[in-house]
Structure formats: C-alpha cells, structure tokens
Structure 1
Amino acid sequence: MKNFIPNLWIVLVLLPSLKAAEYDDDFNWKLDMEIHGNGKTPACMDIPEDLRLCYDVGYNKMMLPNLLDHESISDVKQQASGWVPLVHKACHPSTQLLLCSLFAPVCLERPLYPCRWLCEAVRDKCAPLMESFGFAWPDMLKCDKFPQDDLCISMNETNSNISKPAGQPSVCPQCDNEMNADAILEHMCASEFAIKAKIKEVKIENLDRKVILQKRRKPVRLVTLKKPDLKKLVLYLKNGAKCPCQQLENSGKVYLIMGRLVGKQHILTGIHKWDKSSQEFKKTLKKLKSYKCPAFEAVFK
C-alpha cells in the first residue's frame, strides 16, 4: 500500500504536511477527552503485520487505545479490515493516510488528528464511490469533529495534486474488469448475493442504469436474497449512467453478477465475466461459498 500515501514518518519528522497554528491549551484536545474519556493511558505497540490497512504505512508504532476508542488490537483489525477495499479503489490518494491516522495513530505525547479539510477532501472523492455500493459515509468519519486550526495531519502537495486526465471517464467501479481473486472477492464482500446470469436489457434512469436480466438465473451465493425473488430481480448500477461498463454492452455473455438490497432497490455491486477457462476464476468460485468477509455492516453504519 505504499503507493497510496507518503511516508508518514518523514512527514512527522520534517513536518512539511502538518498544518500548525498557535497551540491552544484551552482547547485541551477536546477530541482526546471525548475519545479517551475512559481514563486509560494510551500505550505504544508495534503495528502488526496482519493489520493490512496500516502495515507498512510509513511508521512502525501505533497508539492503543486508538483515536476511534478501540481498546484491543483484535477490535482494530476487525474494524480496519472493512476499509481495505476502499483503499484499493484509490478514490483519493490520502484515503489510507486519513484512516490510519485514526485506526493506528502514530505514537506521540499528544494525539495527532487528521485535519478537517483532509477528511473533507477524502470524503468528497470517496463518498460517491461508497454510495454506489450502497454504503453511506459513516459517523466515525464526520469531518466537522476534526481540528482545522490546530496541529493536525494533512496530505502533502504531491498527493493533493493527483488527478485523472480530463476527458477520460473512469470505468464504473462495479465493472472493474480485473479477474484476480482479490478483486472479485472484494466485490462479493460488498454484496448480499451472487448469481450466474445473462443481461437482457440496460436502460438509463436518471443517473443510474437499470439492468434487466434474462430469465435463466443460477444462484451462486445467497445471503439475504431468497430463491423465489430471483425471478423478479432487477438491478441498478448506481451513478452509472455515464461511466463505461464493458460488461453491460455485451448482453450475449454469461456473467457472475453481485448485488445488495439498498432501500427498495437491488443495486449492482460487481459484474465479472463467467470464464471457466480461467484458473483464477475457478479458484475464486471455490472460495466464494466459504470466504469470510470483513464486517462491512459494522463499519459503514
């Protein structure tokens, strides 16, 4: 994950990306009082290798309890795992920086929080992506609770200027054409069902695409969707009216289609070519039924 954020240790030592103002003791780190009101003194510990979100983030030690009031490293791992796919989607270059400043805060004498504007920058880029998968921006990342004038963590200029070339629309995130197991399993974990089907018709409705399936639909993995509901299943590609999705333009092919119920709509969370000639795809199908997903619902609420 080194490609997503700067070396935070260098950032902290040289302070090029920390926004500082006159230190205010009256402020007394109100967030610190709110989050660490349990009276426990934070301790430093090594960032464990299986904390995928923040291992190799740029520093080796983290504070526990962290700034999200997780008191055990097992709680940190469980909650942080649900954010790994968002970092992989690269919706903003400082997503991991924001998350790790809270899940695995660097060890200092006083807590160092992300700047409010850093949170807002990541939120503005990543919230639409999360919404397209049916997840709202969570309360734990409400940006107005972070400092804007005190010492805080910010992204550096290199990261803040990263953008995609104009005139080149991104592929719809649900239509990511990667056929590796990790990409498919991440889509599956953001889903409540996976089926094998062909596409009959695609219509544009406002900012979404309405996806109508052919009658033959074979369940691959059902969590909340019942078999009788498969017959009347219609999917919506949220915010997908303008982004490219090659799969939806090839209705004659068979696809692994994933989705989840949000409100009264079943939204499309992933669509991959059904390719039994691919060893990677066959390996993924074997994992689908028993794979244990991160606790997305516990994170994005």
Structure 2
Amino acid sequence: RPEYTLSFCFFVSAPALVLGQEKKDYSLFLQHNNFHNGRFYTKQPQCVDIPADLRLCHNVGYKKMRLPNLLDHETMPEVKQQAGSWVPLLAKRCHADTQVFLCSLFAPVCLDRPIYPCRSLCEAVRDSCAPVMETYGFPWPEMLTCDKFPIDNDLCIPMQFAGNQATPAPASKACPPCDNELKADTIMEHYCASDFAIKMKIKEVKKEKGDRKLIAAQKKKKVLKMGVLRKKDLKKLTLYIKNGANCPCAQLDSLGSNFLIMGRKVDQQLLLMSIHKWEKKSKELKFAIKYMKSHQCPTYHTVFQ
C-alpha cells in the first residue's frame, strides 16, 4: 500500500503548531470546544496518539488525532471498527489522495478547530473510487456526500497530488477482485469482508451485460466460509465481476487450477471480491487458510471491502 506524507503548510490560521515537533501533552488542547457538527459530546475533544492498529491512518504523516473525530466517533474502538472496512480501498490505488481524504475524517489532525477536507478533494476521490466500490456492490456512502464539505479555501484540506506535485504510481487497470497480492494479511482482510470463501475450480468464463460471469465446475468444492450461501447455491455456483467484462484478470487466463474465491451476495447475485490461484507451495496461502479456522473477524458496519 502506498504511503502518503501530508503537507499542512496551508493551515495559515493555526498558530503555534509545527507538525513534526511533538508536544509533551495535548490533553487540554481542545477542551474549550465540546460542541461539534450540531452535536454535544459527553467527553471534551482531546488529542490522542494514532494507534499502530488503526491501519487506515497509522502512516498518514502525523502522529496525533482529534477525538471525537469528524464522523462523530467518540471512542477509539469505534474509530478502529469503522475505519477497518476502508483499508482494502487503499490497496486498490483508485486515487492517490484516498488515504488523505479518509484520514482527515477518521483521524483528523489535532488543531484548535476541526479542519474538514475540501469539497474538491472529496469529489476527486469519489469520482475515482466509487466505480471500484460499485464493483463490489457498495455505493458511495451518504456520510461522505461531497456537498457536505467546504468549497476550497485555506481552512480545508486540498488535494495533495494536484498540479505539479509528485505523481504517484498509476492505478492498476486490472479488475479490482483480480488485483490482490497473494499475502496472508490481504487474504484475511478479504476473508473478513466477504460473505463466503470457497476453494473451487472454474468451468467457464463468459461476458454478460458488461459483467464477467464465472461458472463453477461441478467438482467437489471446499467451503472455508459458508456465510449467506445455501446448499443449492453450491450446486450451480455462478459468480460475477461487476462491470468486469473487459478489464484484465490474469488469474482467469488459465482455468486448470483450483482457486480461492471470496465474495458477497448483493441483490441475489454473488459478486466476486477476491480471486487467487490455489498455489500449494505458497506459505502465505497456507498461513491464511490455517488462520481462518480460529480467527474472529471484527464486526464492521461495512462501507467497503
């Protein structure tokens, strides 16, 4: 996953704060303001360390965050739970500022007043990432409606990779479910976000109304996670890559091997979330499969995965 370092030189109205120089104690920094976004909080706003297990934002470029955050999450467990469902979106590289935008809300930088993302930043990330989310059956969420955010000025967070700034690595053109490394943590992220996981063979791949249709072979399937699937679903298992008729999917170039398939059920369709060739010698795959047997997935109010 790419890491981004934020530049906060545009915060001209935030005196006496130099990012990169740690102050000993931020605990009283925001106590004057416990009313925010039309809501009174039971706790005073405070500055806290961004914990290492807040994977969405741990390497965002600053170390302290405001709590409650700008999405009305009052506790760190709530922040972690809600932010976790967005981690896989970073790996899709749909926009260079995805992390900047999301972390400005989930883990806002500590200043003397809330600083929201600019509307143009929201629109840029939405326009690039919403099509990826739709592949998995997720619409752009209402809580991130861009009209809610301020138009560009010096008191909102602008795009970081605009104009002449450093150009990030280009987004992959592969179908999103096919663009995943065979790494244990990646597999587990998709396992927890998926309704079902199966080891299976694919008989045939077709194109249908802009989607790609995967028809499972009738041979024995090994169910690793049953979820919403019913036994009759397994008998004639058909999965779809939404809007994936023409994007590359290298895994499907040869159908001779077994595959690890993970997916979600959306509107009576089974959508493919992730596909990996079942490589017997892969230590990463072996570890993930073993881990699945005992791992308790977090309960997300899932927005994307």
In the superposition, the TM-score normalised over structure 2's length comes to: 0.83
Would you say 1:69 and 2:72 are equivalent positions? yes
Cα deviation, residue 37, structure 1: 3.8
Judge which range, 32-41 or 183-192, deviates more: 32-41
Higher helix share: 1
Cα 1:215–1:48 shift into 2, 3 Å: same
Cα deviation, residue 14, structure 1: 11
- One-letter code aligned to 2:276: H
| 8 Å Cα contact 1:79/1:295 also seen in 2 | no
Match of 2:170 among 161, 164, 177: 164
Cα 1:101–1:54 shift into 2, 3 Å: same
Post-superposition CA distance 1:25-49 (Å, at most 9, x none): xxxxxxx743544475422222222
Cα deviation, residue 295, structure 1: 3.7
| 8 Å Cα contact 1:221/1:289 also seen in 2 | no
Cα deviation, residue 195, structure 1: 1.0
Percent of aligned positions that are identical: 55
- One-letter code aligned to 1:121: A
Task: Note the 1:215-226 alignment, pairs <5 A.
Answer: 215-216=218-219, 217-226=221-230
Partner Cα distance (2:287, 2:135) in 1: 27
Matching residue of 1:278: 282
- Could you say what the CA RMSD is over the residues aligned between the two structures, in angstroms? 2.5
Post-superposition CA distance 1:133-184 (Å, at most 9, x none): 222211221111001144210123356854739xxx7111211252111222
| Unmatched tracts of structure 1, length 5 or more | 16-31
Matching residue of 2:24: none
1:44 aligned counterpart, secondary structure:
strand
Cα 1:298–1:191 shift into 2, 3 Å: closer
Matching residue of 1:155: 159
Partner Cα distance (2:5, 2:12) in 1: 13
Matching residue of 1:19: none
Cα deviation, residue 76, structure 1: 1.0
Cα deviation, residue 98, structure 1: 0.6
- One-letter code aligned to 1:212: I
Cα deviation, residue 118, structure 1: 0.4
| 8 Å Cα contact 1:193/1:260 also seen in 2 | yes
Matching residue of 1:24: none
Q: Hey, which bits of structure 1, 4+ residues long, moved more than 3 A?
A: 8-15, 35-41, 158-165, 292-301
Cα deviation, residue 228, structure 1: 3.2
- One-letter code aligned to 1:226: R
Cα deviation, residue 240, structure 1: 0.9
| 8 Å Cα contact 1:118/1:155 also seen in 2 | yes
Cα 1:298–1:238 shift into 2, 3 Å: closer
| 8 Å Cα contact 1:196/1:256 also seen in 2 | yes
Cα deviation, residue 290, structure 1: 2.9
Matching residue of 1:21: none
Match of 1:60 among 57, 60, 63: 63
Matching residue of 1:7: 6
| Unmatched tracts of structure 2, length 5 or more | 15-34
In the superposition, the TM-score normalised over structure 1's length comes to: 0.84
Matching residue of 2:270: 266
1:258 aligned counterpart, secondary structure:
strand
Partner Cα distance (1:128, 1:148) in 2: 24
Cα deviation, residue 234, structure 1: 0.8
Partner Cα distance (1:170, 1:131) in 2: 15
Match of 1:250 among 244, 248, 254: 254
Partner Cα distance (2:215, 2:128) in 1: 29
- One-letter code aligned to 2:288: T
- One-letter code aligned to 1:7: L
